[in-house]
Amino acid sequence: MSLVFAGVCSHAPGITGRAQLAEPATRDAFYSAFYRMGDALRATRPDALIVVGAEHFGNFFMNNMPAFALGMADDYEGPIEDPKWLGIERRRIPGNAALSKRIITEVMQTVDVAFAEEWKFDHGIMVPLNFLTPQYDVPVIPVNINCQGPPLTPLHRAWAFGEALRRAADSVPQRIALVGTGGISHWPATPDSGKINEAWDRELLDRWVRNDKRALLSYNDIETYRDAGQGGFEIRTFISIAAAAKGQGHLQHYAPIPIFAVGCTVAVMDVAA
């Protein structure tokens, strides 16, 4: 069929795990935008949702760190973290192994990818699903871009991967939704946890909304680490969505929420021909 939906969102564990500690009005405005994004996604009647995330050493470690990996299973389990800590119950999440295989096979025509028949979802996928598909009734195809173990996946390859995902989505008969999750600026698991560079975030989001390829690919990891922390490396997921959708973006919500330790973002992008 085709790609029918594209968007990006934050996935920090504090979004659900520390919900009671946030200022209620700020939290609720973010949650409302997140749920509205889910309403819009489900209104496109997707047969599957590809979630492009940045996995946090739950399944892949430095003994085996692919630049890109896709799941190829009929079901998955998550969260891998303590459910009480994350605020999300552990459950089985439907997949679609046959569809995943078709997507992977097409992506491989231009981008080398790994695949996994077993995958336990961490907060990078479970937090978005909690808002976007709260009934967990849309089959998921998980994707990991290496944003955590240097040498990191180059930004221009994240763009090429997004283009390959689009081609793959357009090649299958099913309706495909695509969501990238991550960052933006944040310093997780460090003494600077809770720090947010709002100016950096807003500049990145402006480039993303305009789908400015040159500007998006102009970042380098040294400057990103300095200005946006190691969490800023997750811009790779946003870049892949921009490449896949090809359209203009719409920022639906952005607010720095230190107790969630991230600039909380919800945005969608028009799917252009």
Nearest to 45 by CA among 98, 78, 106, 1: 1
Question: Mean pLDDT for the chain?
Answer: 97
Q: Give pLDDT tens digits for 245-265.
A: 999 999 999 999 999 999 999
Q: In 10 A of CB 135, how many CB atoms?
A: 8
Please state the pTM of the whole predicted model: 0.97
* pLDDT reading at 190 higher than 90: no
Report yes or no: 168 and 110 within 8 Å, Cβ to Cβ.
Answer: no
Residue that is written with structure tokens 């991550």 in the block: 182
Q: Which residues of 263-272 are buried (b: 16+ CB within 10 A; e: fewer)?
A: bbbbbbbebe
More confident position, 120 or 183: 120
- Contact of 171 with 96, CB cutoff 8 Å: no
Q: Report the alpha-carbon distance of residue 239 to residue 157 in Å, rounded.
A: 10
Supply the pLDDT for residue 1.
61
| Both tokens assigned to 250 | 């719409």
Rounded CA gap, 179 and 269, in Å? 10
**Is residue 33 over pLDDT 80?**
yes
Write the pLDDT tens digit of every residue in 48-94.
999 999 988 889 998 889 999 999 999 999 999 999 999 999 999 99
Tens of pLDDT, residue by residue over 130-176, are: 999 999 999 999 999 999 999 999 999 999 999 999 999 999 999 99
Query: What are the residues whose beta carbons fall under 8 Å from the beta carbon of 163, sequence distance 6 or more?
Result: 110, 243, 244
Per-residue confidence at 189, pLDDT binned at 50, 70, 90? confident
User: What's the pLDDT at 140?
Assistant: 98
Stated as kind and residue range, the H or E segment containing 178 is strand 175-181
Q: What backbone torsions phi and psi does residue 91 show, to the nearest 5 degrees?
A: -160, 175
For residue 152, what are the contacts with CB-CB under 8 A and spacing of at least 6?
146, 221, 233, 236
Report residue 222 CA to chain centroid gap.
22
Question: 3-class SS at 94?
Answer: strand
- State the Rg of the chain over Cα: 17
Q: How many other CB atoms are there within 10 angstroms of residue 220's CB atom?
A: 10
At 191-214, the pLDDT tens digits run: 888 999 999 999 999 999 999 999
User: Position of tokens 């380098």?
Assistant: 220
